[in-house]
A and B are shown apart, each in its own frame.
Chain A
Amino acid sequence: MNDKIISLICGIIFGIGLVISGMTNPEKVIGFLSITHNWDASLIFVMGGAIITAGPFFYFLKNKELSALGDKINLPIKQNIDKKLIIGSSLFGIGWGLVGLCPGPAISALATFDPITLVFLISMAAGVLVKKNTIE
């Protein structure tokens, strides 16, 4: 079992979870963000379910040095609460509110074979590359 097969399996499980949760449908996400009008709190249950499931494992695995496949575990070093975090998260919030897609559901949406999802992903890739080539 190598890294690529494990990644593929994890992606499949993640994608099935996203569809069952309803979060692949931008209407559900917009419903959550629409706090003043017909609010749909489902997204809180998705995040809550994922956090409650993953949290204890992260706690018990936090001192592990090697993964089961033998790779060195490098958790992100403590991120500063700085301008980048605040501005970046704000810009992401605007984009998320405009369409109702964040990166995971945007990729899963390719399963609809709707070409508009490709337009979104190309725009998203452009955003990633512009950030990478302009800031650091």
Chain B
Amino acid sequence: MNNFTPFSALLGGVIIGLSVVFYFYMTGRLAGISGIFEIAITKASQRLSNLAFLLGLVIGPLIYFNFIASSAPVAFNITHSYLLIIPGGFLVGFGTRLGGGCTSGHGICGIGRLSTSSIIATGIFVAVGMLTVAVLQQFGIYL
């Protein structure tokens, strides 16, 4: 585990948790990003407030890079293989909406509310994600 970063991970997690709580307390909605994304692109009546949240997700890192930690850039090493990006994006969109949530909706809000279905959903996508990475590694991708 030579890349293990437990302290920054925990700090980031607590900040995410505070955002989730504040959002729920103020608006009465759960901060499940796949759900917010779906509403932003499909429901005209609630589009703006959901788009505002998504815009915040982009502004947050920009604030961090420019004002908080400009000396230590955070890496975003994203694959540039369209063979991974296009099916990957499609499956993330389709799968999260079919399954009713993603890492934030099921993983944080759902487990935070002790929802059995969210605990099961999270177990499934983590396990299948691990299996997928193991298969890709067999083909020499992600060494």
Contacts and interface: CB of A to CB of B under 8 A. Distances in A.
Interface of A: 3-28, 30-31, 33-55, 57-58, 61-62, 64, 66-69, 71-76, 78-81, 84-104, 106-112, 114, 116-117, 119-132, 135
Contacts of B74: 19, 22, 24-25
B132 A124 contact: no
Contacts of B132: 33, 93-94, 96-98
B41 A45 contact: no
A45 B89 CA distance: 25
A71 B41 contact: no
Nearest to A123: B89
23 contacts: A8-B55, A8-B56, A11-B53, A11-B54, A11-B55, A11-B59, A16-B64, A19-B64, A67-B25, A67-B26, A85-B120, A90-B128, A93-B125, A93-B131, A96-B125, A103-B102, A107-B54, A116-B78, A119-B85, A125-B37, A128-B38, A129-B93, A131-B98
Given A89-B125, A127-B92, A54 B99 contact: no
Interface string B7-42: 011111111111111111111111101100110011
B61 A16 contact: yes
A44 B114 CA distance: 17
The 7 closest A-B pairs by CB, nearest first: A11-B56, A15-B60, A21-B12, A49-B13, A127-B93, A88-B99, A93-B128
